[in-house]
Amino acid sequence: MLRNPVFVILALVLAGSPVLAATCPAPKAMTFTVSRMIRRDRLGFTEGFEVRGDQIYESTGSLFGGSRLMRTGRDGHVTVIADFGQKFFGEGLTILGDRIYQLSWKDHVVFVYDLKGQLERTMRNPDEGWGLTHEGGTLIYSDGSAKLTFADPKTFATIRQVTVRQGAQPVDMLNELEWVNGKIYANIFESRQIVRIDPVSGCVEARAAMDGLWGLMSPADRDAIATDSNFVLNGIAWDPEQKLFYLTGKEWPMMFSGRFSGQ
């Protein structure tokens, strides 16, 4: 049965569901201005990155030292609060209330810890686990596709989903995520790009080319990062008090603080 499209659109509006444009506007260009480079005293295969108070919490994958939960101070000192070795591949991380939520990559498990890294419970994730953030009382995760899923933090049941698009094309490989002022910032895996996404429409509103970070590294640091193709840009943390972003990459010996502009 073919429905009248006018009535379909009217029904969606009356139901409160957003009517998405077929094509998103062209994204704006963002630039990232670095205010400080902080050297870390311990490396990690960064998968999740989030500010809480004066510490940056981090989830690492099981390569190059194992899956861990770590805290990094603004002086670059790293404290390991939980070490899981090769038991699973740690992925995205976010802190909601006083609980740390960590995804696993292919094990379909979401781990819930207290702030000391003590495991409290687990939930099942039907998808692969990539990036993780939250808004209010809702978790938001990516799975390597162009889909972002909003999930219940008590059960991980799906609340809604949105497809991320640039123009009319889906944008996949969305990795580390961060919710900032009503928008979602995301790394595009294996690229030097960070995008800003409208969480309602899924449109990529802005893109930033992050090549300038490499220009601030010493030749020795660039050579170290270049030794393995896995050592990509991946890590976005937002400090709401200082209004600063913290960025890093997998096995990077430093993190950068700064601000995006041109939005």
pLDDT of residue 10: 36
Residues of the chain with confidence (pLDDT) below 50: 1-19
20 lies in some domain: no
Provide the token pair at 43. Answer: 């490396």
Domain membership of residue 205 (yes or no) is yes
Query: Does 76 reside within a domain?
Result: yes
Please tell me the predicted confidence (pLDDT) of residue 20: 58
Question: For residues 263 and 250, what is the distance between their CA atoms, to the nearest angstrom?
Answer: 27
Model pLDDT for residues 222-241, shown as the tens digit of each residue: 999 999 999 999 999 999 99
CATH number, domain with residue 189: 2.120.10.30
In a domain, 27, yes or no: no
- pTM of the model as a whole: 0.91
197 found inside a domain: yes
What domain range is 138 assigned to? 38-261
Q: Does residue 162 form part of some domain?
A: yes
Please give the pLDDT value at position 22: 76
Q: What is the pLDDT of residue 131?
A: 98
126 located within any domain: yes
- Give the model's pLDDT for residue 224: 96
User: Is 118 contained in some domain?
Assistant: yes
